[in-house]
Chain A
Amino acid sequence: MLLEARWKGDRAVWLIIVLIIVLGFAFIPLSQLLFGLRFTYTVRVVALGGSILGAISGVVGCFAVLRQESLLGDALSHAALPGVALAFLFFGRELSLLLIGAGIASWIGMRFVMALLKSTRIKQDTALGIVLAAWFAAGIALLAYIQSMPDASQAGLDEFIFGQAAAMIEADVILISGVSLFLLLMLALFWKEFKLVTFDPEFASANGLRVGAVNTLLSTLIVIAIVLGLQLAGVILMVGMLVAPGIAARQWTHKLDQMLILAAVFGAFAGGVGAVISALDNDIPTGPMIIVVAFTLVLASIALAPGRGLVWSRLRQRSNRRRFAAQNVLRDLFRYAQAHGGFESAVPDAFIRGVAERSAQLGLRQLQAEGQVETVAGGWRLTAAGVARAQRRRRNEGLWDLYRLYGDELGLPVVQESRHAELSELLPRSALAALESKLKGDGDA
């Protein structure tokens, strides 16, 4: 049973993975049909680059989400901007050098946050806000300076602010793939360490793991992923691309490995689809489009994820409420009938409603649908099935009460179910007999 439940839980995850992949591929002919998009060389490059970037930032971002460091990602991506500008000033427009500059700037930002936290009483959110604002301001000031320079080669640095998919070329995709492979390799190598540090840093350090070093490595990987995604998503919105796939994936599963795979798939979908849509129209910046797609995935996940999705929990609440109301009404009817002479006479409508107004309505409707009550003149009456059920419930309740009272004394096995389960089905026959004798004894007394 346990295995089956596990398979059932896992099946939902694999299903959604396959579904998203299929949807992603279906998007290609769909967009050809609907928008008349032609998959030219550029669009193919952009789509491929977008999906790879989305996948890798989704995977790395999972750790940021789990460590509750989403806002660190926000600050670090803003902090990359001055690095891009300085690298351009000193080395010209060479993508890999620009990215290295971005990485260094955002890494310095990270160290600055740590230094502030260590040496002052300023709290983390304030420190992040300071770095975010100051580094971003420096970047904007440098960009404005670059724009004031006479030679025209500076065109295109703006794309680092909001992202520009159309600027991607094949060499960029190769660079992205290479770095992504490196990141995946690092994740695989330090899988155990990262997992431990993420979920239980105290335990990790008690076991002699160098938590500080592992943390720094993990943050560095996050910085690399951020820097890689800058060209596509831009510094302001990179954080969305980092954390959205992870948050969406988190809704579907409780296992880290599954979460990473799901995040990769979600990220690839968002990155690819967003990049292609924005490549259609020069007026749509890429970063915002990717974020909109990713956020839609998150909303869908929050609503629909099995077990904890909002839709399911609403439905569950409703059915619980209805069941509970039906139980109460059944009990009230039964007791009233017992006290007022037999199940044949009608229970006045006003009595039932008076006891529990709204929930009485709900319960009566439910019971009527199940054929356990019927309307008669002036009120309600239990049917034979209703009487039988009410009696069964009453016996079950009595048994449960006795079990709670004497379970220890009689040495009965422990039952984990809730009170609403049928106790007679959960206990072995001998134990049941012992309880029933108590029930009779109680009844006699």
Chain B
Amino acid sequence: MMPLERALIDFLLHFAAREELNAFLRSPQNTATLIGCLIAISGALLGTFLLLRGMALTSDAISHTVLLGIVVAFLLMTKVFNLAGDTSSPWLILGASLAGVGTVLLTEMLYRSGLVKQDAALGLAFPFFFAIAVILVSRYADDAHLDEDAVLVGEIGLAWANANSHCFDHCESVTVSPDHPAAKNTRQCLNCRELGISPRDERAVFTETCSNCGQYSPAKAWSAGLLEREPLLVFFPKSITVTLIMTLLSLAFVLLFYKELKLATFDSALASALGFRPAVMNYALMTLVSLVAVGAFDAVGSILVIAFFIIPPAAAYLLTDRLSLMLILSPIIGAAGAYFGYDLARGLLLGLLPLSEGIRLVNRLLGLSLTEEWNTSISASMALMIFFMFLLAWVFSPRYGLISTMIRRANRRRLFEDQVVLAHIHNHQHTARHKTELREESLHRHFRWTRRKMGRVLMRLRATGYVKLVARCAELTERGDRHVHAFRRSMLEAYNIPDIEQGSPLAAGTSSESMTETA
């Protein structure tokens, strides 16, 4: 991990000075937003395929079981091998994601046995693994990096503080030994209390202990005041490295295997017939989902991560029909959600509306005294903003949105009303009964419509120039006549019916009465 970070920093130093880089990374907002965006991008890329394969809740499943993997690996690391607890260690990530994949296989086995349905297998196994993990956490883990809160929401706001230091110049690592000038040696009498003698007594035995001996990295040595010159340091948050690697992996996976993934997703039978092995793709996808879930655990916890997997692809799914476009849109939606999420956590909706105004209003209206300062969980706010993006897509999507659907339905209804009225007029004009059938005041009764609706439709038809009023009776204009004939011909062609009455008035079979019944 370290050499990778080093190379990355070297690369970044081409664009920014060291101080700028440090200042950027030391700001909680920048780091949190960056990590949130990276998780959102990797989650959205993989989530797109999960959604299209109907496996959206598998990410839920994986994120739950991965927790057990993390907890067990963490406890093994700290309690058995006595290593420092670090949830971004590569071994832990590997072990935990294997646990995720393994449990997906286990549930598959469970419902293949035929005793338990698939939904029940999911609804049972994952709470169980999660339950064990929570019991282990609350009972054995006393480390600050792993507690119940971290499981739920992660610590994205503190990610900047958990950083590796990289030294670029004046790098002196110091080893303080007991004879080092800065060593703090204390003499301690071993047997004074036991024997009840003073330290000056001859029989006293002493031991020398050094309270600050040990290895000092350049950063630690500088802060301990052991160095004269300040080392040139860059502090790089560990979470950024982990999530960056996950994002690059997901991106590479999707780009390299785009064709295979597409085929396996939409036509798995064809894929296996062509020798593409969709099962391998499936497990690769599961492995990557587990990896991303583990990588994101530090930042957003094990439950909220599913918001990053499921919601952005769902929003993109409402916006487009093309897989390639979906793969571009959903990371953008996720990243935008993560970006605005930080503002929301600090009380600004979309960077515009301060939430404290709303709380003040609620306080005034309901006579409550809620705190006006809105300061809340960053990861939850990011999930909420992603959901907000989804709502926007649902309402405003040009093809599948609520508004466009409403407009389309209204248009279709209007078109239908027009055609029904035109057909009625066409059937009855120039017949003996046209005075009773086509009178403007009584026309609405033939359709069982209200008078107002009839007036509206008639007005529209007259405005388009299809219908005119002759002696208070409706009659087709020449343009209207042409329109009716064109419409009739198109309908006959659409249903492949031979046109028997070429040129005659509209066929008797499509009388207005039968058409109103279909309305």
Contact = CB atoms under 8 A, between A and B. Distances in A.
Contacts of B131: 237, 240, 287-289, 291-292, 295
Contacts of B376: 141-142, 144-145, 148
Contacts of A142: 376
Interface string A147-175: 01110000000000110000000000000
A120 B400 contact: yes
A292 B135 CA distance: 10
A78 B317 CA distance: 24
A409 interface: no
Interface string A98-138: 00000000000000000010011111011011101110111
Contact of B134 (A69, A141, A285, A295): A285
A128 B54 CA distance: 12
A301 to B, nearest CB: 9
A324 B356 CA distance: 78
Contacts of A240: 123-124, 127-128, 131
Contact of A310 (B57, B113, B394): B113
B115 A302 contact: yes
A128 B307 CA distance: 11
A165 B379 CA distance: 28
B390 interface: yes
A140 B152 contact: yes
A247 interface: yes
A90 interface: yes
Contacts of B119: 68-71
Contact of A130 (B130, B132, B387, B402): B387
Interface stretch (B363-371, B442-450, B464-472, B485-493): B363-371
A308 interface: yes
Contact of A137 (B122, B134, B138, B304): B304
B286 interface: no
Nearest to A121: B400
Given A119-B402, A288-B134, A310-B113, A136 B127 contact: no
B56 A129 contact: yes
A37 interface: no
A80 interface: no
B135 A284 contact: yes
A243 B113 contact: no
A119 B397 CA distance: 12
A126 B148 contact: no
Interface string B175-214: 0000000000000000000000000000000000000000
Contacts of B116: 247, 302
Interface string B126-152: 011011101100110000000010001
A289 B303 contact: no
Interface string B380-395: 1101100100100010
Q: Which of A133, A141, A284 has the most chain B CB atoms closer than 10 A to its own CB? A: A133
A144 B380 contact: yes
A141 B384 contact: yes
Chain B binding surface SS class:
helix
B60 interface: yes
B516 interface: no
B373 interface: yes
A129 B120 CA distance: 16
Contacts of A132: 60, 306
A133 B383 contact: yes
Interface residues of B, number: 60
A138 B384 contact: yes
Given A89-B368, A145-B376, A134 B383 contact: yes
A251 B116 CA distance: 9
A295 B56 contact: no
B99 interface: no
A308 B115 contact: yes
B314 A284 contact: no
A125 B57 contact: yes
B310 A292 contact: no
A62 to B, nearest CB: 11
A145 B128 CA distance: 30
B59 interface: yes
Contact of B132 (A68, A144, A239, A288): A288
Interface string A256-289: 0000000000000000000000000101110111
Contacts of B304: 133, 136-137, 140
A194 to B, nearest CB: 18
Contact of A71 (B123, B303, B371, B380): B123
A239 B400 contact: no
A29 B66 CA distance: 38
Interface in A272-329: 281, 283-285, 287-289, 291-292, 295, 298, 302, 308, 310
Given A125-B54, A134-B384, A243 B123 contact: yes
B174 interface: no
Contacts of A129: 56-57, 59-60, 306, 309-311, 314
A201 B61 CA distance: 30
Contact of A144 (B57, B113, B153): B153
A5 to B, nearest CB: 22
B384 A162 contact: no
Contacts of A68: 117-120
Given A125-B54, A128-B57, A284-B139, A134 B307 contact: yes
B281 interface: no
Contact of A148 (B148, B303, B309, B375): B375
A148 B376 CA distance: 8
A116 to B, nearest CB: 8
Interface string B102-124: 00000000000101111110111
B38 to A, nearest CB: 18
B307 A133 contact: yes
B137 to A, nearest CB: 9
Q: Which of B127, B130, B139, B373 has the most chain A CB atoms closer than 10 A to its own CB? A: B127
Contacts of B303: 78, 133, 136, 236
Contact of B135 (A122, A134, A161, A289): A289
Nearest to A73: B123
Q: Which of A78, A137, A144, A284 has the most chain B CB atoms closer than 10 A to its own CB? A: A137
Given A133-B387, A134-B383, A149 B371 contact: yes
B101 to A, nearest CB: 19
B53 to A, nearest CB: 10
A399 interface: no
A66 to B, nearest CB: 9
A65 B116 CA distance: 9
A244 interface: yes
A120 B318 contact: yes
Contacts of A310: 113, 115
B314 A90 contact: no
A122 B400 CA distance: 10
Nearest to B368: A90
Nearest to B149: A158
B377 interface: yes
B380 A140 contact: yes
A283 B141 CA distance: 11
Contact of A243 (B124, B153, B318): B124
Interface string A391-419: 00000000000000000000000000000
25 contacts: A70-B117, A70-B119, A70-B123, A74-B123, A90-B366, A126-B56, A129-B57, A129-B311, A134-B307, A134-B387, A137-B381, A141-B376, A161-B148, A237-B130, A240-B124, A240-B127, A243-B120, A243-B124, A244-B124, A288-B132, A289-B131, A292-B135, A295-B124, A298-B124, A302-B115
Interface of A: 65, 68-71, 73-74, 78, 89-90, 116, 119-123, 125-126, 128-130, 132-134, 136-138, 140-145, 148-150, 161-162, 236-237, 239-240, 243-244, 247, 251, 281, 283-285, 287-289, 291-292, 295, 298, 302, 308, 310
Given A74-B123, A126-B314, A145-B376, 13 more contacts: A73-B123, A74-B60, A123-B56, A125-B57, A138-B384, A140-B377, A141-B384, A145-B374, A237-B131, A247-B116, A283-B139, A295-B128, A310-B113
